Chain A
Amino acid sequence: MAISKEVYKVFESIVGDYYVSNDPVICESYRSGPGGYENGTGYERVMTTIPGCVIMPRTTEEVQKIVKVCYKNDIPYVPYSTGFYGPKSHPHVEDALLIDLKRMNDFYLDEKHYYVEVGPGMIYSPIQEEAMRHGAYVVIGGGGAQASAIANLIGDGWSPLSHRIGLPHRRILGTELVLPDGELLKLGSLANSDDPFWGECPGPDLRGILRGYTGVRGCLGIVTRMAIKTLPFQPERLQPTGISPNTVLAFPEKRVKWINYVVPSKEAQVKAMYEIGKAEIGGAVTKVPLFWRSIAKAEDKEHFWEMWGKENEKTVANFFIVRVLLIGYTSEEQLEYDEAVLADIMSEVGGEARPTKPSDESWIKNADSAGMWLMCGDYVSVDYVIETLSQATEHGPTYAELKKKYTPPLMPDYGDPGWFQSFELGHQGYSEFLIYWDHDDDTDPVDQFYLDTSIMNINHRFYTSLLGPHQPMYLTGPQYGPNYHEYFLKVKDEFDPKWMSHPPVPLAHDVLIERSPWLKKMKYWETPDDLPK
């Protein structure tokens, strides 16, 4: 149902005339595709549409009022912070209201208690700059420097720096959530004062409803304010250097240092990561896909393919690197000590240090995610797992094997098993598998691969991020729990009985399967007849 003139006027009275628009050109600019994360896939083409109207609130109170009007008038709505990460943050039904949160970009830094407080419009790179200026730092999650920190933290929110800083759910402190019907829920210490310094709630920790393994994509309301834990960094400035596109942060060399080691085997990689964690050294410990190195070195797309075209299954299979970021958090002597310990560990596993630039261009203030689109034009992280270091690294090769069936149109990567790294000082391991393609090719196999990985995980009993609203819940839910999906749907019904907050999430993937013949032919599981159409 299109938004009536009367309701439109109410919206105007909430945010002012300028900040609400149903102009078709304004609405078109909020289209998810044709490019970007997961765009060009079936999910984008089948499940997304342009909004019927866009509104830009400035305050939590305005968000509440907007949502209440939506609830009263049966207007589906979608919260939208930066819109970077693909179709899942865009409307899935006609005539939806897109609530653009970019004006809610308040920022407050509490130097003494090591946290920052932000609105959903605030992105990562300014947060990191402000934090570092005050001797602290945060993780810029894989979403990158330009991602909304709140959206990223309730979605994913990790990077190689999670080796030291830890996982995102530990860094979410006091949080405000406007529930789907407009009621305000305050989490953590915000529950009894206006001080967001602490994340734990009296009673159940309700932060869990926001993210779990990964986020719920706006289907349980809108986070309007969040305090994020920062941790102490070293005090010297990382100096911005160079002119675009070759810009880097130059290190104070006695305080911060990346060292790349080549090791003889995957076992050596895992052992090195484990030992580094056990020794409690390092700010980041990671192994990235070989082609990321080519991206970093490439002058342009054509140069990338020139370089990558020289690789083959053998060179990829024999490439074992461990990339370690050392930080002298407390002193130059600490870095010296950590480097000596690292050298011992590497000597034990047969690692050889390679010349490494005294600068960072990828992780500390960025997470160079936008570069992922350079070589093909399209990209998605298919899946990720958090396990023990030894188990996490088992997943990548299974994805690589399955991927062969879908290459092309997927980018030839010669069996690269993806990215893995240490989290929380080696207590946990992380593996992520990414795929790349060009959406001018036939993208049906891309969708099929995505679904097939989920089926593969069920068969292997792997426990991965796909349990969230990223795959058909009637496929994954009965396999894990066995009533994970029912539990989630009960939560959804309880908080959002009218399903106004970003419908049909969390069942969007189930709906996608029904609407997409190239996926439906893979379906072997049951779904209820009353699935949203």
Chain B
Amino acid sequence: MDSKNEGKQRYYKPRAEVALDIEDMENFVYDMSRCIKCKGCTWVDHTYMPGAKFMTRCPSATMYEYDAYGAYGKMRIAHGMAEGKVEWNDKALEIMYACTLCGACDVGCKRNLDLEVELTLESIRVKAVKDGVGPLPAHKKIAENVKKTGNMFGSSKKRTEWIPADAKPADKADVLYFVGCTASYTNHEIAQSTAKIFKAAKVNYMLLKDESCCGNAIFSSGMVDEAREIAKKNVEAMKKSGAKKLVTACAEGYRMWKVDYPKLLNIATADLGFEVLHLVEFVDELVKNGSLKMKKEFNTRMVYHDACSLSRLSEPWTPWEGKRGWMGCVEPRLKRRRGTNGVYEQPRDILKAIPGVDLVSLPRERENAYCCGAGRGTKEAFPEFAKWNANHRLEEIRDAGAETLVTACPMCKNNFAQNVKENGNDMQVMDISEVICSAIES
């Protein structure tokens, strides 16, 4: 819309340049200043509001309760910082980092207002790093580990130790399996199940030569310079591999490759030069085209927990820069990422296709799902936060009468499993790769 041609009835408003660039928080001051405190970021979408229990979708606001911890509070604090009225202190750092950047707020806001909440929160952390107050010691430790050992745990073990004797990845293949730190070091069962699925579907796959960390916690804590170097290195290695598809069973790694690498490299996901798929997308297609049969019964009452990075955070990235003018309208036209096209149905379709599975709904699911509290480096910095939120979600899951909890993210699995064990509960917690694997094994 050209405000110069709007006629004399309207004010002419000089246009301000703006970009979806998290490296400059100024890009999001408009969004901060238009937050109306409706708290749509915090409550479950009214349409799906399940009742007087499980009303919220923001882990930070739910646990900490003060307004400061909701996106509406963070936006006000950051706006105060942008105006020079508010200084960083320990509380501000806690508020900005005790948050999984799970995207629930972003989806909630875009139900009505289209404010770029997720990018605002990411940009605040970038500012924290630039201002020399962030990230937190736990994040620095991860960055140090990655630098020294290539993995977030600082493990000196061989990254490929998970590979079973009967599995041999190809040297060259169209499909490249990106394993990720967790499946490589702490959750071999995910990597091994994934390898078995490939084998069952007769999919030839390769691994990234000298695979190393995707940089999830580094990026998420605001260390964008370091994260960009990782992105460059990984994307270059992927291109060099010649593979056409990158498949991962890690939701956070998936988001990094699909969304945040393009964001860091200022390119569109479509311009990466290869396709990025989560295992559930890959398997869903195999099941639907008959290449993978899941015949073995799994008799259980099951719930599926939507991992944030696979669901509402997973829409492809397209760089955008333009101008904001009259009434805040932008040009060129911006196609906003609202979480609408996240990976919601594929995992459900897979699980429903397994004989014996009684897949039941949760009060909060899909774009309204309640984050487990672990992701994006949060559990490392705030273990109590991760624990509290896992238990909050587990209460909802137990209310649904679930015997088996399935997720598609190793962070979620570990956080839930640890708390289930501590609580003495007999619920089984599984990664979706394990469930698929159990249905295809003879």
- Chain A contact residues, CB within 8 Å of chain B: 19, 21, 23-26, 28-31, 33-37, 39, 54, 56, 82-84, 100, 102-103, 107, 122-130, 133, 144-146, 240-249, 300-302, 305-306, 309, 361, 365-366, 368-371, 373-377, 407-409, 411-412, 438-441
Give min CB distance, B388 to chain A, whole Å.
13
Q: Are B48 and A35 interface neighbours, CB within 8 A?
A: no
Tell me if B266 is interfacial: C-beta within 8 Å of chain A: no
B50 contacts partner chain A, Cβ-Cβ < 8 Å: yes
A125 touches B43 (CB 8 A): yes
Among the listed A83, A107, A412, which residue makes an inter-chain contact with B9, where contact means beta carbons less than 8 Å apart?
A412
- Candidate in B66, B340, B366 with the most chain A CB atoms within 10 angstroms: B66
The answer to whether B89 and A370 have CB atoms under 8 Å apart is no
Q: Which residues of B contact A (CB under 8 A)?
A: 1, 9-11, 13, 32-40, 43-52, 55, 65-68, 72-74, 76-77, 79-80, 85-87, 89, 91-92, 95, 107-108, 110-114, 326-331, 333-334, 336, 338-340, 344, 366-368
Would B91 and A25 count as touching, CB distance under 8 A? yes
A28→B107 contact, CB < 8 A: no
A369 touches B38 (CB 8 A): yes
- Name which residue of chain A comes closest to B368, CB basis: A244
Question: Cβ of B89 and Cβ of A129 under 8 Å apart?
Answer: no
Instruction: Provide the residues of chain A in CB contact with B338, threshold 8 Å.
Output: 244-245
Q: Which residue of A lies closest to B8 (CB)?
A: A408
Tell me whether B111 and A245 are in contact (CB under 8 A): yes
* Complexed CA–CA distance, A125 and B38 (Å): 13
CB distance from A90 to the nearest CB of B (A): 10
Known A-B contacts A122-B52, A243-B344, A244-B110; the reply to A25 vs B39 at CB < 8 A is no
Instruction: Give the complex CA separation of A26 and B92 in angstroms.
Output: 8
Docked Cα-Cα span, A25 to B10, in Å, equals: 38
Main secondary structure on B side of the interface with A: loop
Distance between Cα atoms of A306 and B333 in the complex (Å): 11
Which residue of A23, A34, A107, A300 contacts B52 across the interface (Cβ within 8 Å)? Answer: A107
Contacts of B368 in A (CB 8 A): 244
Q: List, in ascending order, chain B residues with CB within 8 A of A441's CB.
A: 11, 13
Are B329 and A244 within 8 A (Cβ)? Answer: no
Give the complex CA separation of A144 and B72 in angstroms: 17
How far is it, in angstroms, between the C-alpha of A244 and the C-alpha of B55 when the chains are bound? Answer: 16
Knowing A84-B36, A100-B67, A408-B10 are in contact, say whether A377-B328 is a contact too (CB < 8 A).
yes
Option from A30, A83, A306, A374 in Cβ contact (under 8 Å) with B114: A374
Kindly count the residue-residue contacts between A and B in the assembled complex, taking CB atoms under 8 Å apart.
197
Evaluate contact between B40 and A370: CB separation under 8 angstroms. yes
Which residues of chain A are near B112, meaning CB under 8 Å?
245, 368, 370-371, 373-374
How far is B327's CA from A159's CA once the two chains are assembled, in angstroms? 28
Q: For the complex formed, measure the closest distance between the CB of A471 and the CB atoms of chain B, giving whole angstroms.
A: 23
| 30 A-B contact pairs sorted by A residue (CB < 8 Å) | A21-B66, A25-B89, A26-B66, A26-B67, A28-B80, A28-B86, A29-B74, A34-B32, A34-B79, A36-B37, A39-B36, A84-B38, A126-B51, A126-B52, A146-B43, A243-B367, A245-B110, A245-B112, A245-B338, A300-B336, A301-B329, A302-B330, A302-B331, A370-B40, A376-B328, A408-B10, A409-B11, A438-B328, A441-B11, A441-B13
A25-B95, A26-B91, A247-B45 are known contacts; what are 5 more A-B pairs with Cβ within 8 Å?
A: A19-B65, A243-B344, A244-B110, A248-B47, A370-B38
CB-contact partner of B76 in A29, A371, A439, under 8 A: A29
CA distance A438 to B30 in the complex (A): 11
Contact B77 A244, beta carbon cutoff 8 Å = no
- The closest CB in chain A to the CB of B47 belongs to A247
Per the bound structure, the CA–CA distance linking A127 and B50 in Å amounts to: 10
**Which residues from chain B contact A370 at a C-beta distance below 8 Å?**
36, 38, 40, 111-113
Nearest-Cβ distance from residue B66 to partner chain A, whole angstroms? 6
A24–B112 Cα gap in the complex (Å)? 30
Contact A243 B34 (CB under 8 A): no
**B29 → A minimal CB distance (Å):** 9
Q: Which 10 A-B pairs have the closest CB atoms?
A: A29-B73, A145-B46, A29-B68, A36-B36, A125-B46, A107-B52, A125-B49, A370-B112, A247-B47, A370-B38
Question: CB distance A24 to B36 under 8 Å?
Answer: no
The closest CB in chain B to the CB of A246 belongs to: B340
A141 to B197, CA, bound (A): 53
CB closest chain-A residue, reference B80: A28
Contacts of B74 on A, CB cut-off 8 Å?
29
Q: Which residues of B contact A374 (CB under 8 A)?
A: 112-114
- The complex places the Cα of A54 from the Cα of B40 at a distance, in Å, of 22
A373 to B114, CA, bound (A): 10
- Which of chain A's residues has its CB closest to B332's CB? A302
The answer to whether residues A84 and B37 also contact, given A26-B68, A243-B366, A377-B328 and a CB cut-off of 8 A, is: yes
